[in-house]
Structure 1
């Protein structure tokens, strides 16, 4: 069981196709990501570049959502397809998986609208939906409704009724589940989703906690992080690198669709104190504990250096922090139902 101090949340990775003749100049990637830079006074991730997202609210789980969505031709079979019962059940979905798959997607859609003004909803009947692309609704008073939804999450349902649309939950594909270490003050159990737009939304309206919004090439953002021009936190850096392992947007969304209903391992960093620094172990690492108590703040200790602990293990999946630098180290890792990033060291410049 997780402590109640961890709050369920959703984060949405929005990618959009970019038509370029020389995508090698963009690290071979033919898509951009919708990114926001948090303001200095933001309640979380201040001054850093993050994906849209936030905490789940009771309004995201109201039963009326299913009724509304079914009125557009979706059946229980479509809802059942969101979860593969014979697969791994990711911890965030363990309690009532189907309900959580729906409500956390609605959380991601609501937070994305609140923060960047993009309403990922559809007006089309289910029978008319084709292709991998997410729908979004325009031509309404975005700022007015942003304010209403921000003040009262229940207003998203009223907005959908007003516009005769529904949250486009089937275009959001479950990607990963990150749990904040218990050593940090603010703790979130976050489901990451990914969706793809056929084109980039031009009219974007930010919130008070957002200093800027942009469509950014992920490889270029990583280059800026290495130069100290932007701040990225470890989960964002990890996901940037994992996503850009797939260069083509249509291949990326197809892969995301294929793994979405399958569960995968919870990303919960376990702290290990080495002689000359810290290691944050991730699932699959040789030193990752076989049994975990998520309510225990235990810190493991080893009388070896960070480098020695690296050399003495075969499978590495960890974040290292020492005088030599900070970054993810991956070797011989075969994650279930997800991208294998091969052997690599991902350096971080701005780790705090």
Structure 2
């Protein structure tokens, strides 16, 4: 845990995709054979109340506990912080995954762990394939999970204690690195998060239950359904969720998404801190690679204060990578650059509403 940070907190979130099954019925015929888990934040929340979000939360010191015995060596941390200098023997990329798993369990009741007896099989899969070729979910007793969920909500350190007593491992290698978003200064008050985004694919939807504290309700929906509901003002999602769901629209089949995510993750990612500018018509979140994105944009101070070009200036051939915000429920991504780290472009705004195979 990086206690030296002054301007934001480290966090992790999990994009959880699962095949059709229990609790998942698309509202209309769809090309997608999977749903994505969204949780509605409490209206009393101090950060983005009533927003629909992926499960996740702030890193806890217990996520860096040396009690975590992982069976394999890790590659360099997502963030280049030397955790040893901060007193933790656990690499950041391990702790951030544990944070995502713990928060997902707390908020939705979904527990992603692997039996300790599968340790050798996991090692072999990593050695042969570079990732674990498995996307199932545990089969633990529901009453046992209910007991432990309450304990973990009381004290995050009980998550590692639970794994030890149940003889399971946090299934960190089912989580694939997907992205990294840093809240821009001043956009949501003084609260800022440097959030690692992971993705995990499950063959079927697991038993899910909101905690009725931080989370009011949950839903499993296809990426296109979520974006259509957002455009219809039936729910609200933040720009990072809009962007990532638009990326998922490239993959109507769960198996294709799983294969892409597991193989792409080895390329890593970069930190994106939107720089917000405005003109008479829009707020524009500039992202790395855009022609107006400041090369040395300060991470620890107010976002750049400048004026965005008018609409007619958007049509030139210069590199664009931005989210144009007309109102809280009207966003569109403008991108003419090639994504780094073997990632995919988000699907265009107009294509989402059609859920058409020709657009994917």
Q: What TM-score range do you get, normalising by the shorter chain?
A: 0.7 to 0.9
Cα offset, 1:145, TM superposition: 1.7
3-state SS in 2 of match to 1:330? strand
Aligned to 2:73: 79
SS at match of 1:327: strand
User: Aligned pair 1:53/2:46, yes or no?
Assistant: no
CA distance in 1, matches of 2:208, 2:54: 17
1:115 equivalent in structure 2:
107
Could you list the structure 1 runs, at least 4 aligned residues long, displaced by more than 6 angstroms after superposition: none
Alignment of 1:283-294 (within 5 A): 283-294=288-299
Q: Is the 8 Å Cα contact of residues 178 and 268 (structure 1) preserved in structure 2?
A: yes
CA contact (8 A) 2:277 2:283 kept: yes
Q: Output the aligned Cα RMSD.
A: 3.0
Which of the numbers 4, 7, 13 marks the counterpart of 1:5?
7
Deviation, 1:289, is: 1.4
Gaps in structure 2 of 5+ consecutive residues: 85-89, 123-131, 353-360
Separation in 1, partners of 2:271, 2:133:
30
CA distance in 2, matches of 1:40, 1:347: 32
> Aligned pair 1:148/2:151, yes or no?
yes
The 2-side partners of 1:343 and 1:162 are apart by: 44
User: Where does residue 239 of structure 1 map in the other structure?
Assistant: 244
Structure 1: which 5+ runs fail to align? none
Residue 46 of structure 1 and its aligned partner are, at CA, apart by 1.5
Distance in 2 of aligned mates of 1:210 and 1:298: 30
With structure 2 as the length reference, what TM-score do the two structures score? 0.82
How far apart, in 2, do the equivalents of 1:314 and 1:343 lie? 20
Aligned equivalents of 2:177, 2:303: Cα separation in 1: 30
1:267 is aligned to 272
- Check conservation: 1:142, 1:205, Cα contact below 8 A: no
- TM-score normalised by L of structure 1: 0.84
Check 1:330–1:276 CA distance in 2 against 1; reply closer, same or farther (3 A cut).
closer
Count of matched residue positions in the alignment of Structure 1 and Structure 2: 330
Distance 1:168 1:7 in 2: 24
- Report what 1:317 is aligned to: 321
17, 28, 34: which one aligns with 1:31:
34
**C-alpha distance in 2, partners of 1:231/1:324?**
8
Task: Give the match for residue 357 of structure 2.
Answer: none
Please state whether the residue corresponding to 1:288 is helix, strand or coil: coil
**Alpha carbons 2:200, 2:258 under 8 Å: kept:** yes
| Residue in 1 that maps onto 2:214 | 209
- Of residues 177-186 and 97-106 in structure 1, the stretch that sits farther from structure 2 once superposed is 97-106
SS at match of 1:320: strand
Q: Greater CA deviation, 25-34 or 53-62?
A: 25-34
Alpha-carbon shift at residue 259 of structure 1 (Å) = 2.0
Q: Does 1:62 align with 2:65?
A: yes
CA contact under 8 A between 1:56 and 1:107: conserved in structure 2?
A: yes
- Contact 1:259/1:338, CA 8 A, preserved across alignment: yes
Q: Does 1:280 align with 2:285?
A: yes
In 1, Cα distance between the equivalents of 2:120 and 2:243?
37
Q: CA 1:342 to 1:65, structure 2 compared with 1: closer, same or farther past 3 Å? A: closer
| Structure-2 change in CA distance of 1:173 and 1:125 (3 Å) | same
1:128 counterpart residue number: 121
- Distance change in 2, residues 1:323/1:147 (3 Å): closer
* Offset of residue 23 of structure 1: 9.3
**3-state DSSP class of the match of 2:73?**
helix
The alpha-carbon deviation at position 3 of structure 1 amounts to 4.8
SS of residue matched to 1:107 = helix
Aligned to 2:166: 163
Deviations 1:188-222 (A, max 9, x none): 00001011111111353534121112222221111
1:99 counterpart (75, 91, 96):
91
Tell me, yes or no, if the aligned pair for 1:319 and 1:326 is still in contact at 8 Å.
no
Q: How far 1:7 moved relative to its partner? A: 0.3
